[in-house]
A and B are shown apart, each in its own frame.
Chain A
Amino acid sequence: GAVVSQHPSRVICKSGTSVKIECRSLDFQATTMFWYRQFPKKSLMLMATSNEGSKATYEQGVEKDKFLINHASLTLSTLTVTSAHPEDSSFYICSARDVGERPHEQFFGPGTRLTVL
């Protein structure tokens, strides 16, 4: 149980285009999902907290107009990187909190590696 999927796993895009990343909780309902980014050999940096049915809460320094987050249902959150630039190339990871059995845990998706040319 407590499986989180992400799609796509890898994406390469041209500078200036937008990329959408999906995060799904497959076998549980997640009222809260988190989006992180990780640069090579660096730790995970929280970008935003996504709550179902409400606006996401962004961490300081994260541009909400550039990183659009939509948490439309209890099992799906999406992160859209708008007008992507090479500096947005990173490993993006989502996690979801299972409000049912183990509410203190976050279950991570497999990550999406974004490369912007």
Chain B
Amino acid sequence: GQNIDQPTEMTATEGAIVQINCTYQTSGFNGLFWYQQHAGEAPTFLSYNVLDGLEEKGRFSSFLSRSKGYSYLLLKELQMKDSASYLCAVREAGAGSYQLTFGKGTKLSVIP
């Protein structure tokens, strides 16, 4: 099984930088995903990490440390439209396994 923890809520100011942390415990690891979900909508893919290190994609970056069971999503130059829930999801190792287990999500509120 898997246990995924992330903060429930965060608030940040427009134009600032915010880091959303995610810790996980799993019997086997085969990738970590970050998704953005606006209220009432389906999640949209943000990033994928399977090796240690930082993946950068525009204003969004994601970091992974497999030895620590830790990841973070970094959002730069925050915009009001970034207000959403951010879901950390882990894929467990196993042949042909593509199932994701999601954390409860971090609701980010961006304020002026």
Contacts and interface: CB of A to CB of B under 8 A. Distances in A.
Interface of A: 32, 34, 42-46, 49, 91, 93, 97, 103-111, 113
B36 to A, nearest CB: 11
Lowest 6 A-B CB distances belong to which pairs?
A108-B42, A43-B104, A43-B102, A44-B102, A111-B42, A110-B42
Contacts of A42: 104
Contacts of A108: 35, 42-44
Contacts of A93: 42-43
B35 to A, nearest CB: 8
A109 B43 CA distance: 8
Interface of B: 31, 33, 35, 40-45, 48, 50, 87, 91, 98-105
A108 to B, nearest CB: 4
Contacts of B41: 110-111
Contact of A44 (B31, B40, B45, B87): B87
B105 A43 contact: yes
Nearest to A106: B100
Contacts of A111: 40-42
